[in-house]
Structure 1
C-alpha cells in the first residue's frame, strides 16, 4: 500500500497560515455567502428506526462514530479522539473550548468540533453563528487577534470552515439532501483502480476533469482533480483513506457523502463532508480536506 506524505497533497502549514490571514480580511465569496444563511427547515421530529437504512452497516467507517455511546464502548475511538484533541497546543485547545461553551449556552446541548483542524494561528480562532438548536450555521474564522464570541466583526471575515445543522420532518426527507452515489452502478463500465483494504474505485473522466468515486460502508466518497493542470485524483484518494484509518468520523444514519477537491483554492470552501442522522443533516465545508476530516472527526 502506498503512503503519501501529507504535504504532497495539502498546502504546507506556512502557506495555509498565509491563506488564513487573507481569509480573515473583510469580504466574502459565493461559497461564504451561500453558507452563512441558516436553513429555514421544519422543526425537529422523532425518527423511527425503521426509516433508517442500515444495509451497509458492516464497515468500520459506517458503524464507528464519535458519539458518547461509541466513545464509552470503543476504546480505539476514544483514544483517537483524545490524540486529536491533545495534538493541539494548549492555547488552541483553550480557545475552542471557551467558544464551544459560549455556543452551547446559546444553542443548547449540541455536538461541536473539539479541534480547529488547523496548525499555526488558530489560537486566534473566532466564531459567529446564526440559528437555533434545530437549525444553525456556525462560521469558523481566524483573524489577527481573538474577538468576542459572535462579534459583528467576525461576520466580516471569510470562514475557513462552516458547520451547518438542518432538521427535516422525516428521515426520508433528510436522506434526499445527501448526494449518495453507488459508484459501481453510476460508473459501470468505467476504468477502475484498487485502493487499500480491497476497495475498488471508479474513474469518471471527461474534458478538464478526472474524478474518482467509491463507497465504504454508508459513505459515498469522491475526489475531483483538474486534468488540465495534470492533476490525478489517486494521491488524494489514498490520503483520504489514510486519514479515515486514523480518525473516526460520525456514523451516518443512514447515509453520508465526502466530496473533496485536489485543488486548494484560497477563500473557497469546496471540501465537503455531509451526513444524515435520522431526520437531521450535518454539513461541514472547509478550505482544506484534512481540516474538514479533523473537525468532523472531533465532533462530540
Structure 2
C-alpha cells in the first residue's frame, strides 16, 4: 500500500512540474502595431515635401534675380551722379561675368558725358579711386553721349550708308538679308542694312571667311534682339580682331558712341540693351 501511495505522489509531483514549466515558457511577442506604422513611409508628408521642393526657386534663378536688382540699382546710381541736364538713356543692363559686380566712372561736361563701365570681383562704388588701377576692375565698355546744336549736325557724325547702292560682291547672310563686300588696303568689309542701321564687319583680306561668319552671327542675333531706334540713323562696325568695334547712333541732337568693347557680339548685346 505504501508503495502504491508513493507512486501516486510521484506522478502528481511530475504533472505539477510539467504544468509549471509550460506556463513559464516565454512567448515571442510580435511587433506592436504602432511600431510597424512608423517604419512605413508617410505618403502625406512625402507629398508635402515634394510640393515644397517644386515651389522653391532654383539657385540659378535666385542668382539672376539678385544680379538684375544689383545692376538696376547701379545704373540708377550712375545716372544720378552724372550731374547733367542731357536727356540720356542708359542700358537696362550689361553682360558681366558670373560672380562680378558692375561699377563705373563718370565724367560730365556742359554738352557731353562719358561713362566707363567696369566689372570687378568685389563691390566698388561709382567713381571709386581704385578703379584707376587696371588690376582692380576690367573695362566692359565706354559710352560717350554728346549734344550737338541741332539734329542735322548730329546726323553728320553718323557714317551711314546704303550698301546696296554702293555695290560690291553680294553675299547671303541668311534671313533674306544680303551683304555686300568691299576690300581695300588689306582689309575686307561685309556690310548690310537693317532699318535705319548700317552694319559692317571688318577682317583682313587673308581671312575673308571670318568676316562673313561674324556677319551671319550678327544677323542671327538681331533676329531676336532689337537695336535702339535711331533718329535718324545708326552705324555699327564689328571687328573680327576685337580691336576696333564701334557703334554710333543718333537721337535727335544727341549722338551715342559705344567703344572699348573687345567682343564684337558683346558690342551688339550692349547696344540692344538701350532699346526701351
Judge same fold: TM > 0.5, yes or no: yes
Q: Is the 8 A contact 1:208 1:226 kept in 2?
A: yes
Q: Distance in 2 between matches of 1:164 and 1:191?
A: 34
Superposition deviation, residue 136 in structure 1:
0.7
Q: Distance in 2 between matches of 1:118 and 1:211?
A: 29
Superposition deviation, residue 103 in structure 1:
1.6
* Partner residue in 2 for 1:274: 248
Q: Is the 8 A contact 2:147 2:255 kept in 1?
A: yes
* Partner residue in 2 for 1:75: none
| Partner secondary structure for residue 90 of structure 2 | coil
Task: Say whether 1:288 aligns with 2:268.
Answer: no
Structure 1 or 2: larger strand share? 2
| Partner secondary structure for residue 165 of structure 1 | strand
* Partner residue in 2 for 1:83: none
* Partner residue in 1 for 2:105: 128
Task: Say whether 1:146 aligns with 2:123.
Answer: yes
Q: Distance in 2 between matches of 1:105 and 1:176?
A: 30
Query: Unaligned stretches of 5+ in structure 1?
Result: 1-85
- If the length of structure 1 is used for normalisation, what is the TM-score? 0.63
Which runs of 4 or more aligned residues in structure 1 lie more than 4 Å from their structure 2 counterparts after TM superposition?
none
Task: Say whether 1:179 aligns with 2:156.
Answer: no
Q: Is the 8 A contact 1:115 1:294 kept in 2?
A: no
Aligned 1:192-271 pairs, distance under 5 A: 192-229=170-207, 231-264=209-242, 268=243, 270-271=244-245
Equivalent residue for 2:71, pick from 83, 96, 114 = 96
Q: Is the 8 A contact 1:117 1:290 kept in 2?
A: no
How many pairs align?
208
Query: Unaligned stretches of 5+ in structure 2?
Result: 1-60
Q: Is the 8 A contact 2:112 2:144 kept in 1?
A: yes
Q: Structure 1, residues 242-263: CA drift from partner, whole Å, max 9, x if none? A: 1111111110111100100112
Aligned 1:48-127 pairs, distance under 5 A: 89-107=64-82, 110-121=88-99, 123-127=100-104
Q: Distance in 2 between matches of 1:133 and 1:112?
A: 18
* Partner residue in 2 for 1:161: 141
Q: Which has the larger radius of gyration?
A: 2
| Partner secondary structure for residue 159 of structure 1 | strand
Q: Is the 8 A contact 1:193 1:202 kept in 2?
A: yes
- If the length of structure 2 is used for normalisation, what is the TM-score? 0.68
